[in-house]
Amino acid sequence: MSQPRPTRARSVLYLPASNSRAIEKARGLTCDVAVLDLEDAVAPEMKLQARAAAVAAAREGGFGPRLGVRINGLDTPWGVDDLAALRDAPVDLIVAPKVENAATVHALSDGMRPGIELWAMIETPRALVDLRDIAEAGGALGGLMLGVNDLAKELKTGAAPNREPLKPWLAAVVAHARANGLSAIDGVFNRIKDEAGFAAECAQGRLYGFDGKSLIHPSQIEGANAAFGASAEEAEWARKVVAAFAAPEAEGLGVIRVEGEMVERLHLEQAQAVLAAL
């Protein structure tokens, strides 16, 4: 059953938890979510230090964005201890890599403090096969994140600027997220200097229905916020639709005309969602 659109997450920036300078900078950034990374961005010999730094940073606070931590997988030497260390830390969400089944969602949820949200990364063929079970697992699950780099590697897809081999999975992740009231976060774009390519991929992600995009550099925040937020034109149209349905002559009508366009009540719901996210 479809549920209301999740909390805004247009820009989700990964930062190495082992980098104190990056953590300090994150406090003043305009991304919607800052994720301190304990997994890919941290070498094995730095895992314990990074975990301690993430917990300390969360307790110190001062973050403008919502704060998350990406832990190591529960099947690694660090994942269980990562989860335990963060149980009482003041973070908003936990990002779990390579989630492949509902049992993992349940195990993660059981180890988290109530009120913290879990985002499951979908980045293996097994996760795609069992996507429905993962999305319907419940517990603390609040979002699905597409891990495009690992997924492309495991699927052995060829390089394609428009992500042609991944398009079925872009749509599938969004569909399962929407069916279960979860956030849907698109994967990273690796070429930091390719502004046109990044803009095109953000536009593609929004077209497919994603709420936002995973980012690897602060320079990508502004573009993601613009791409996944409402434009001035969209906001103005939304106001006109809401105002038109609020007019006395629209009472009881399922379809009305707004500036020559036929508009249904489903468009009213979309317009209200746009305005609520401003």
pLDDT of residue 63: 92
Does residue 259 or residue 146 have the better pLDDT? Answer: 146
- Could you tell me the sign of the dihedral formed by the alpha carbons of 115, 120, 126, 132, in that order? positive
- The SS3 assignment for 60 reads helix
Residue 124 backbone phi and psi in degrees, to 5: -140, 155
For residue 257, the Cα-to-chain-centroid distance in whole angstroms is: 35
List the beta bridge partners of residue 93.
68, 117
Detail the residues annotated as belonging to a binding site for substrate. 70, 123
What number is the average pLDDT over the span 33-47?
95
pLDDT of residue 4: 40
User: What CATH fold (topology level) applies to the domain 11-228?
Assistant: TIM Barrel (3.20.20)
Rounded Cα distance, 14 and 68, in Å: 9
Helices (H), the chain: 20-26, 47-60, 79-86, 102-110, 125-129, 131-135, 148-155, 167-179, 195-208, 221-228, 232-246, 265-276
Q: Is the predicted pLDDT of residue 120 greater than 80, yes or no?
A: yes
Rounded Cα distance, 278 and 276, in Å: 6
| 43-71 pLDDT, tens digit each | 999 999 999 999 999 999 999 889 999 99
Identity of residue 217: H
pLDDT of residue 6: 52
Detail the residues annotated as belonging to a binding site. 70, 123, 150
pTM, two decimals, is 0.86
Q: Which residues, other chains included, contact 145 with Cβ-Cβ below 8 Å and sequence gap of 6+?
A: 12, 95, 119, 120, 121, 122, 185, 187, 214
| 150-198 pLDDT, tens digit each | 999 999 998 888 999 999 999 999 999 999 999 999 999 999 999 999 9
95 C-beta neighbours (distance < 10 Å), count: 26
At residue 5 the predicted structure's pLDDT band, cuts being 50, 70 and 90, is very low
- DSSP letter string, 100-122: -SHHHHHHHHHTS-TT-EEEEEE
Which residue intervals of the chain bear CATH 3.20.20.60?
A: 11-228
The contacts found for 216-220 with CB under 8 angstroms, 24 or more apart, are 216/13, 216/14, 216/188, 216/189, 216/190, 216/192, 217/13, 217/192, 218/13, 218/25, 218/29, 218/31, 219/192, 220/11, 220/13, 220/189, 220/192
Rounded Cα distance, 196 and 139, in Å: 39
Detail the residues annotated as belonging to a binding site for Mg(2+). 123, 150
Angle between helices 265-276 and 232-246 (to 10 degrees): 130
